[in-house]
Amino acid sequence: MAGTFRMLALFGALTLIFVVIGYVIGALFFNDWILGSVMFLIFAGLMNFVSYFWSDKIVLWSYRAKIISKAEQPRLYNIVNKVCLKADLPMPKLAIVATQTPNAFATVRNKDRAVVAVTEGILSLLSDDELEGVLAHEMAHVKDRDILVMSVAATIAGAISFAARMALWSSLGSRRGNGNGLLLLLVAITAPIAALLLRLAISRSREYKADKEGALMIQRPLALARALEKLEEGNRRRPMDRGSPATSSLFIVNPFRGGSFVTLFMTHPPVAVRVRRLEALAEQTGYIG
């Protein structure tokens, strides 16, 4: 219940930021703060609607993921099926992304419509135990409907950034006084940062939870820990060359390594911290595999 409440509070905060931008723009340019607030609230609702019903298809299309059958990838199918039996979850559709960047993600609106996608690179990099840990992590996301949560949060955050850019351009061209221009400039700068921090808070807290639940599913926390270390190094050496950084939170590790970022602005918790947590979990539970 506490986790659900926190997620609802984060969504409420994201939507509030969007409405505040509409309030400022409506009050300064239309002399009607109600109109601006309602317009931006409706726009946020439309973005949520699109994200809920089509985000999974959009993500798969952006990475050119190909849905495959058991006959095409028996190893992958058998490992996912084993995880699903342990977690009492329906078998998802499976997809392959034709890239040597080792990674995996899930996209889902509900447990019966899930798709788990892996790259060609991860299949050649990880052992069966390590791959099972990664897929258990993704099925934990499916179980908790995390992908829907993160997709909607990313959509709202992107919309806030777009609205803030509108405010920035308006402030640069404003002739209604320095005060109005400065206010719009302040909104344009702070709103995207606030939206980003809120979205990352959702992503990072959910990654820790999926690590723990996935490790407990297979009773081998250290297998997932080893996989995370390999994946971090593999993605550092060969970052993703397709898709959008806006979807990076869907992957088990960040696939876009364009440079050094302050930890606060990472879409994923540091892998070293995740590994330490999994090692501590192994000690607590006695699962040492």
Catalytic machinery residues = 138
**CB within 8 A of 267, min separation 6: which ones?**
200, 203, 204, 248, 249, 254
CA dihedral of residues 3, 10, 274, 269 (deg, nearest 10): 180
Query: Comparing C-alpha atoms, which of 204, 171, 216, 217 is closest to residue 190?
Result: 171
d(CA 177, CA 174): 7
Query: Comparing C-alpha atoms, which of 147, 158, 113, 134 is closest to residue 249?
Result: 147
d(CA 250, CA 105): 6
